[in-house]
Amino acid sequence: MRIDVLGTVRALRDDGSPLELGGPRHREVLARLVAAEGRLVTTDTLVDDLWADPPARAVGALRTFVAALRRALEPDRPPRTPPRTIVTEGPGYVLRLPREDVDVHRFEDALTRARNDPAAVSDLGAALTAWRGPAYADVPGSAWALRERNRLEELRLTGVELRAGILLDAGDGADLVAELGAHVAEHPWREPAWGLLARALHRAGRQADALATLRRARTMLVDRLGLDPGPGLRQVETEILTGATPAWTGAGARLGPRTTVDLARTLALAGGDALVHSRRDRLAAIQAAERTGDLRLTARVIGAYDVPAIWSRADDPGQSRAVVAAAERTLSALGPDGPADLRARLLATVAVESRSAGLAEAELKHARQAAREAEALARDLADPALLAFALNGVFLQSFPRPGLAAARDRIGAEILDLATRHDLPNFAVLARLIRLQSASALGHLDTAAAHAAAAEQLAVTTEAPLVSVLTAWFRARATAARSTEPGGPAVATAAAQYRAAEDALRTAGMPGLHRGLFPLALLGLRLLHGRSAPTDPHLDWGPYHPWAQPHVLLAEARVEEARTALARAPEPPHDHMQEAMWCLTAHAAVRLDDRETAARAAAALRDAGEEEAGAGSGMLTLGPVRQYLASLNHNTVGT
């Protein structure tokens, strides 16, 4: 007997006649055991894989399927003798068949032998011809089958290219032109396949066609995916032009390093219009990669945009959601056994991009988990750049509650150490800005100023003009804080510095940061000096409106409207400004004698007493949190 899954699932007797396996669930159970490659599959796993929402009697149904399969696969087994093919072992089942009796195992073994010994190429060719269609073709809706189907399809394509490369290296392969032409037409994103087709054309004496093929490859890669040809294709072209015999560079050759996403990453660091364009180009590249159906290409394109991110509010929440969705789809298709480096980059991307305000708690929890998984994978891989990117995600997910500035400073310190030891200048800038924010939050202005100066110095060599925009805001924030000290700068001086910083930020290409920041800074400056909120109707409070509105209404003596606005204000989002929003809530609650709201604010701020409100942004301050807590404690006495 043998079992085939490279196509529809079937079992055949020695004479080639089919065995009746039963219905779709019976075949899926058999297929799932084949995919385990002789390892135990627990009953719980089988139930979860067979049913998205298992019925109450799922285990009983599974046992019925297994019993029917045993009768079909061993029709001559005497009664009351133990089964030999599907064996009960511990808490589940194991399929016991020699590897040569299962087509997918024969294929994988032939591929491994050909990789190690080119003389085994004929066995690989035979194994490739055994494919009758997509693996597990009649198990279309199961997540496990989708992962296996994608994995095996990638191996099949690799096998086609490996066989062609071995034949061409051996001096054969002129007759591969038609086969490779069809292969390239069906999978135009596979750069090694273009090189193999060009080599086959050259071997057939068609040099002009070979060079035209390479030009078509370049055009297709650039126009559809934004990919410049990698070194493999360039080497083939050079060897054809010089008359040398082109050598195969391997079916696993990487795509060219210069991609649309690489360009987008470079533009993002430049800021302004370039930053806006980089986001557009990045999403287009991801969408193009997904259309190819190549999981690993898609994962590389999504994960290549490792632009250091300092702000916990996304500039384009819609695009961030689209990127996260693409990363999640790719992670699911790769499965838990997918390449660790690609999974780490996808998980880090989920963590970095899941930073928009308004996420549900379940989404925030998932993003924090993704950050931790990415960090663990990167540490295991000992990849400094990947770890720095993963820690960026950890940082952006480190705002679950107020009062965690010291923890964020430790993240920044580790990123700075990695960046310094491994020459990662862009992440060194990120680390300095994280540490600037943390020191600012803790009121350590001299330390924050030192990090600002170091970041500005790095920005000269990394060509990152956004840094000076951010540090200008920090210096305005420092001036605002010092304006409360005896002999300190005037309030007007601090306001003028905020205005200058606002003018620079307006064209920096960071709307998620820009909107509402200047009015909030002015409100903070006024609170520092015991003044009422600004009431200019032209001020755009942006995302901070719900928490600022009660103060504006109080400044206009509209007390009942202020009370209503305070009651409607939601819980602040978990971002750089959460301490500031809670302090605004607290201040309004005290002024309106809203003791219930005051108690909620006091509970939220209880761990942030050593920080300054809003200063964790590194860009403004509403003053020490302990002052707001003191007024809250006085207001809630007796409640």
- Is pLDDT of 254 > 50? no
Between residues 24 and 140, the one the model is more confident about: 24
User: Mean pLDDT across the stretch 518-539?
Assistant: 95
Phi, psi dihedral angles at 548 (to 5 degrees): -85, -30
Portion of the chain with pLDDT greater than 70, in percent: 91
Q: How far apart are CA 398 and CA 408, in angstroms?
A: 7
Instruction: Give me the pLDDT at residue 150, please.
Output: 84
- Is pLDDT of 3 > 80? yes
- Is pLDDT of 261 > 80? no
Reported as a single tens digit per residue, the pLDDT across 4-34 is 999 999 999 988 899 999 999 999 999 999 9
Instruction: Give me the pLDDT at residue 125, please.
Output: 95
Instruction: Give me the pLDDT at residue 509, please.
Output: 75
User: How far does the chain reach from its first CA to its final CA, in angstroms?
Assistant: 79
Between residues 377 and 300, the one the model is more confident about: 377
Instruction: Give me the pLDDT at residue 633, please.
Output: 84
Which residues does 463 contact at the CB level (< 8 Å), separation at least 6?
Answer: 269, 270
Reported as a single tens digit per residue, the pLDDT across 320-339 is 899 999 999 999 999 888 89
- Please spell the DSSP secondary structure of 275-331, one letter per residue: HHHHHHHHHHHHHHHHHHT-HHHHHHHHHT-------SS-S-HHHHHHHHHHHHHHH
Binned at pLDDT 50, 70 and 90, residue 375 comes out as very high
Instruction: Give me the pLDDT at residue 186, please.
Output: 86
- Is pLDDT of 113 > 50? yes
User: Mean pLDDT across the stretch 220-246?
Assistant: 73
Please state, in angstroms and as integers, the Cα–Cα distance from residue 292 to each residue in 225, 287, 569, 594, following that order: 9, 9, 46, 58
Half-sphere exposure in the Cβ direction for 410 (13 Å, CA): 5
Closest CA to 623 of 576, 584, 572: 584
Helix 207-220 × helix 191-203 angle, to 10°? 170
Please state, in angstroms and as integers, the Cα–Cα distance from residue 293 to each residue in 150, 156, 226, 601, 628, following that order: 9, 14, 16, 50, 55
Instruction: Give me the pLDDT at residue 346, please.
Output: 97
Binned at pLDDT 50, 70 and 90, residue 121 comes out as very high
Mean per-residue pLDDT over the chain, rounded: 88
Instruction: Give me the pLDDT at residue 7, please.
Output: 95
**What structural domains does the chain harbor?**
2-121 (1.10.10.10), 173-242 (1.25.40.10)
Instruction: Give me the pLDDT at residue 217, please.
Output: 86
User: Mean pLDDT across the stretch 72-78?
Assistant: 90
User: Mean pLDDT across the stretch 585-598?
Assistant: 96
**CA-CA-CA-CA torsion sign (507, 512, 514, 515):** positive
**Cα Rg of the chain (Å, integer):** 31
- Is pLDDT of 441 > 80? yes
Instruction: Give me the pLDDT at residue 225, please.
Output: 60
User: Collapsing DSSP states into helix, strand and coil, what is residue 81?
Assistant: coil
E-strand stretches of 39-182: 41-42, 86-89, 92-95
Instruction: Give me the pLDDT at residue 224, please.
Output: 60
User: Collapsing DSSP states into helix, strand and coil, what is residue 146?
Assistant: helix
User: Mean pLDDT across the stretch 103-130?
Assistant: 94
Q: What is the token pair recorded at 597?
A: 């709201």
Instruction: Give me the pLDDT at residue 280, please.
Output: 62
Q: HEC profile for 477-528?
A: HHHHHHCCCCCCCCHHHHHHHHHHHHHHHHCCCCHHHHCCHHHHHHHHHHHH
Reported as a single tens digit per residue, the pLDDT across 274-305 is 455 556 667 777 887 787 778 888 888 888 88
Binned at pLDDT 50, 70 and 90, residue 245 comes out as low
Reported as a single tens digit per residue, the pLDDT across 190-208 is 888 999 999 999 888 898 9
Instruction: Give me the pLDDT at residue 265, please.
Output: 52
